[in-house]
Amino acid sequence: MDNKNKTYTNLSIAGILFLMTGYLLEKIIKIEMEIIPMACYMISIILLLTSILKSNKLKKQEKEDRQNRNLNK
């Protein structure tokens, strides 16, 4: 796994951890301030979407690179 894929995997893991933290705070601990779990949910959505978008961009770039190499042969 190269560094770019590892970075996107780490973003996904961080997003899932923020999602679980928000759920833990909201449902299990039942924290009074609703803004804290909501902030965790929003951060998790941002991290997961960033990971997905960057990963798709990387796959597209790799596909274009393969096509360019095939054309140069």
Residue 30 φ then ψ, to 5°: 55, 55
Residue 73 maps to a domain: no
Containing domain of residue 54, as a range? Answer: 3-66
pLDDT of residue 43: 92
What is the total count of domains within the chain? Answer: 1
What string of DSSP letters covers 6-72? HHHHHHHHHHHHHHHHHHIIIIIS--S-THHHHHHHHHHHHHHHHHHHHHHHHHHHHHHHHHHHHHH
Q: Is 72 inside any structural domain?
A: no
From CA 44, how far away is CA 38, in angstroms rounded?
10
* The predicted structure's pLDDT at residue 73: 67
Does 16 have pLDDT greater than 80?
Answer: yes
Angle at 29 between CA 28 and CA 34, to 5 degrees: 100
Asked whether residue 55 is domain-assigned, the answer is: yes
pTM: 0.71
Give 17-59 pLDDT, tens digit per residue. Answer: 988 998 888 888 887 788 888 899 999 999 899 888 888 888 8
Is 31 a member of any domain? Answer: yes
Would residue 61 count as lying in a domain? Answer: yes
